Amino acid sequence: MTETTANNNDAPAAPAQGATRAGSEAPGSADDQRRLETLASENPAAANLARVLMSAGHSTVSAIAMVTAAIVPPPLLAPPTGANDGQSAMQKSGPTTPRRKAADTDVIRGGSVPPSDPPVPGKRTRTETPTRSPAKRHKATEASIATGQADDEEEFDPSPAYLNPHEFDELWPADRIVAKVKKLEYVGMWFFTPVGCKQAEEQRMDGTEDTVMVRSNGMLKAAGTTKAPIADENLSPHQFAAATSLWLKVARKVKVPNKIICEMIVLNSEIIGHDHWSTDPTTLMMWHSHQRRTWSRYMANPQGETPFKLHALNPATQPKPPFVPSPPSVSPRLPSTATRFFVRPGEPAPPSTFEAQQVRADLLPAPSPPACDAAPQPHRTTESIAAFLPSARTALSPSSRTIPAGRTAFASRTLAKGSAFPSTSAAATAAAETTLIDARGVAAAHTATRTVHARPAAVEQTLGPTPLRANGWRAALRKWMLDGRYPTIVAGIEHGFKIGLPHITSTFVPPNHNSATKDSATVLSKIAKEQAAGRYTGPFSRAECEAAVGGPFQCSPIALAPKPPDGWRFIQDASFPRYDPFVRSINAQVDSDEWPCTYSGISMAIWQIIRLPPTAQAAARDVRSAYRAILLHPSQWPAAVVQWDGKFYVDKALAFGMSSSAGAWGVVGDALADVLRAEGIGPILKWVDDYLFFRVPSSAVPEVNACRSALAARVRPGQRGGCLFWRDGEHDLSEDFTRPIRDLAASPSEWAYSFKEVDAICDPLGVPWSEEKEQPFGPVVTYYGIVFNIPARTMALPERKRVALRANIDSWLATRSHTRSEAESLLGQLQFATHVVPSGRPYLSGLVQFLGMHAAAASRRRGPARENVFDSAPLHPPARVRLDLLWWHLVLDCLVVSRSFENDLELYDPGLYTDACGSGAGVVLDGKVAAYAFSPNWRAGGRDIMWAEAVGAELGLLHLVAGGARDRRLRLYNDNTAVEAGLRHGRVRNEAANECLERLFRFAYRHNLDLVPARVSSGENPADGPSRGAVSLLPRLPSVVLPSELAGVLHRLW
């Protein structure tokens, strides 16, 4: 077909293809031309897009259908029947832009309404608000009065002609992913696959989608990750194609501009319709991902990025298939999963993906690994380590790690997954013009991009000392057949661990943080300590440091953070810079989810204690300087440099501040826990480097093992972000329970084991336990900052935490304005306290509102460089914050802040249903009913239907307690989504409803009740009729005393 228009300036020229796809019509027919002309007359932009698709090889019919699908979503009406020839209207007369009637406006999705007719010059137009006709409004009013639905279901008037448009078992991604699509941010296609959507649905069902994690420094972090566990290029072609279709569906739903949707359609067509799609889809999926990622970066910073359209592919940036040498005993085509292990000849195959730790497999044992002495000592390695076998997924021979022109972004990421050092003088060298960047506060140092030649192969690299013993680990892992699950540990101890730090192409030296420069004595003491321990090499000049690490390096600023009780934690801020469009931080180039491990938090500790007899005991141990026991492979050193007073030091061990540090140590920590379990020690829980040991009397071992055996047959493995777990119903657990507890005691009257048996297992491994932090076995133990009493089944805030939190509240109340970081820190501490004080959740609303004020201020910035200014600018908090903190102060004034968790695992369903409408509220409890009526002026004071629904829930709790309920987790059914969320999270939008929820939570806290909301439809809610005053034949509930706040706004009907 010959292009007849010249106004398609927005689309790049596409090469013509010699033949159409199978099943397409021959181009240039009269019918095709007529369809295209019809579309051009009604929507010229859509016609231009159709021509681009046709030039890419699509037939006219398919191109027009794709464009029409992007502009007009599928109709909500049922298709007309009676077609005599089976052809659709589009096939008969070609696509047309639908014209709507006035009454159809509400059912057309945003972005799909065609442009209105142009206004007549000189004639004033009036915008009318659609209203109901008087007859229809009168009929609705009568029906509302008859059924009592006037206030509860206002403006609800569905047309019987429209049918449910949702498919059965419809797939939909997580809300946080939908939000990123709406904001035009990059998101991996895995979240749009059936697996990703089903995981999102599970999280929506169990309420974990909006879960917030508390960092060790008190800051908050969303538990849900937005990093895809499987990269786009590791998806199957079918999964990828289906995911792109769902992306378009989501984009239409959230009203992404049609122009961008059309660009995405063209991009999909260019990639999936590429000549090499059937032979090399992986490279094309990488190209698709690269295009979306860089385009979203441009959309986030249009001033600092060169403008281009989403579908404007540049052939020069097309990634080329990397050369991946296959080990001789492994098939060249390995499955594209998140974890791939290389198995040496004669060894058993490793477990499945979830059974095996999903760690970076860059460190795989060589066929004949060098021997390592049992005693800890510095290890030496040379460039012959380049012969070390990398993983099948990321393997690149040293000579092939060159950066072709135009592929810097892809090559940088590829090099980050392989060795950073060339092994021969023929390897590629970094060549770029020197660019100086001011680094304030750095003496005789500057940021530069410079030419650096490859280090000679004979240069030796000396690793620092580690207490871990490779021989002991090798023997233990092989003894219990765990070397397939943990294939990287022994080689990591001997040669250093690769933790995914990126390849550095230019030297970058930022200034250190004020927390460090204000306390130089502490910094110098830390540096001297690390040098004495052999974990720091230096000091170097910049040129000497580049020679030591074999090329350019990137420094992370030094920071100091308080370390309870009275110390300082030395941190390398690898997330700096945060808002620099030209320099990416170390952490920005590291995916921490590639090092998943187990994390046993408070809920797992509660679960484990309840599953053990009250006679059980617990003890706690901490691994001394756990991160520093993990040595880095020399290829990681360029990204592990620190600077002080113009001198540079190479950090050879795992550091605080790097996003992959927790997971890199966590793999070793999980292996330690599994070795102990295999020896019969346990149960064991761990959080990073803190271990919680439980033991039972010898007589209770058979009972405990019977429970573990049942669990082993029931649990299923899973992963969420960087966290591994085994799911048992609604509980996430930290082991597979396949190893029984062994009775290691000398006589039946003793305990199953002691720390003597633990030390006998750990000494050959070289585990450096911290004696000063050890808690001996007993009925009470502190873990994860909570004091657990095993016989009493109670949990409490430690005295130190209680006093410190109260002091922080006093400090806040004494100051009139606060920064965002101050608000986040205090909110995180209070969020942690709600584990013990669940009734405190509503009293976080003020701080959440205050953070929203900071976010609104930051959104008014004029560029990324000004975000720091808005982040640190103090604002005056609303009055609600002070009221909330005064409530918390009263709670923390108690000498002991505790609660019982005895019934936390049991969910009791007393048959409690609540509902409310504009006239009253109803309660049904265990087959009995109560009805309440609101006073005529109940809407005063900001009260609305949300308040009424919250009052219904409060009345239900009053009747529940009157019936004797206490110390339980209870199910409460309600048909209002907002109140359900309020009961789950502690707050809603309406302030009057929040006050009601506060009373509810205080009352529940006094009786140690935890309400678990569940939503039902109005038709399935037996409290729906009583809330409207409808007479019920159910027995009546006894009367209860109403709070004074409700006495004047409602009364009992019956």
Taking the domains of the chain in order of start, what are their residue ranges? Answer: 175-204+230-302, 470-789, 794-857+874-895, 902-1052
Give one DSSP letter per residue of 611-640, joined into a string: HS-TT-EEEEEEBTTTGGGSBBPGGGGGGS
Gap between the terminal Cα atoms of the chain: 79
pLDDT at 79 over 60: no
Q: How far apart are CA 722 and CA 712, in angstroms?
A: 23
User: Each residue of 737-767: pLDDT tens digit?
Assistant: 999 999 997 776 689 999 999 999 999 999 9
Per the CB < 8 A criterion, the answer to whether 59 and 36 are in contact is no
Per the CB < 8 A criterion, the answer to whether 833 and 840 are in contact is yes
pTM across the whole model:
0.60
Report the candidate in 718, 601, 598 with the shortest Cα–Cα distance to residue 666: 598
**Residue in this structure with the two tokens 């749009």, named with its chain if needed:** 192
Tokens standing for residue 134: 């008087």
Report the candidate in 544, 572, 514 with the shortest Cα–Cα distance to residue 647: 544
Q: How far apart are CA 62 and CA 250, in angstroms?
A: 21
Lowest mean pLDDT across 10-14, 220-224, 679-683, 958-962:
10-14
DSSP class of 399: G
pLDDT at 358 over 50: no
Per the CB < 8 A criterion, the answer to whether 357 and 667 are in contact is yes
* Homologous superfamily of 902-1052: Ribonuclease H-like superfamily/Ribonuclease H (3.30.420.10)
pLDDT at 220 over 70: no
Query: CA 52, 54, 58 angle in degrees (round to 5)?
Result: 130
pLDDT of residue 163: 64
Per the CB < 8 A criterion, the answer to whether 656 and 572 are in contact is yes
Looking at every residue in the chain, the average pLDDT score rounds to 76
18 contacts: CB under 8 Å, gap ≥ 6:
none
Strand pairing partners for 568? 562
Instruction: Provide the residue count of the chain.
Output: 1054
pLDDT of residue 160: 56
Tokens standing for residue 447: 């940021």
pLDDT of residue 566: 67
Lowest mean pLDDT across 389-398, 570-579, 638-647:
389-398
User: Each residue of 321-344: pLDDT tens digit?
Assistant: 543 333 333 333 333 333 323 333
Q: What is the mean pLDDT of residues 556-578?
A: 87
Report the candidate in 579, 600, 598, 597 with the shortest Cα–Cα distance to residue 588: 579
User: Each residue of 474-512: pLDDT tens digit?
Assistant: 999 999 999 999 999 999 999 999 999 999 999 999 999
852 contacts: CB under 8 Å, gap ≥ 6:
none
C-alpha distances in Å from residue 619, one per residue of 705, 754, 775, 776, 779: 20, 10, 5, 5, 9
Query: CA 558, 213, 210 angle in degrees (round to 5)?
Result: 135
Per the CB < 8 A criterion, the answer to whether 449 and 505 are in contact is yes
Q: How far apart are CA 659 and CA 794, in angstroms?
A: 34
Strand, helix or coil at 775? Answer: strand
User: Each residue of 1006-1026: pLDDT tens digit?
Assistant: 888 888 999 999 889 999 999
What percentage of the chain exceeds 90 in pLDDT?
Answer: 46
Tokens standing for residue 485: 């699950």
Report the candidate in 612, 688, 725, 687 with the shortest Cα–Cα distance to residue 206: 725
Give helix 237-253 / helix 194-206 axis angle, nearest 10°: 50
968-974/1009-1015 β-pairing: parallel
Better-predicted residue by pLDDT, 494 or 130: 494
Q: How far apart are CA 883 and CA 879, in angstroms?
A: 7
**Alpha helix (H) residue ranges in 254-395:** 258-272, 281-300
705 contacts: CB under 8 Å, gap ≥ 6:
740, 741
Q: What is the mean pLDDT of residues 555-570?
A: 85
Per the CB < 8 A criterion, the answer to whether 57 and 17 are in contact is yes
Per the CB < 8 A criterion, the answer to whether 949 and 956 are in contact is no
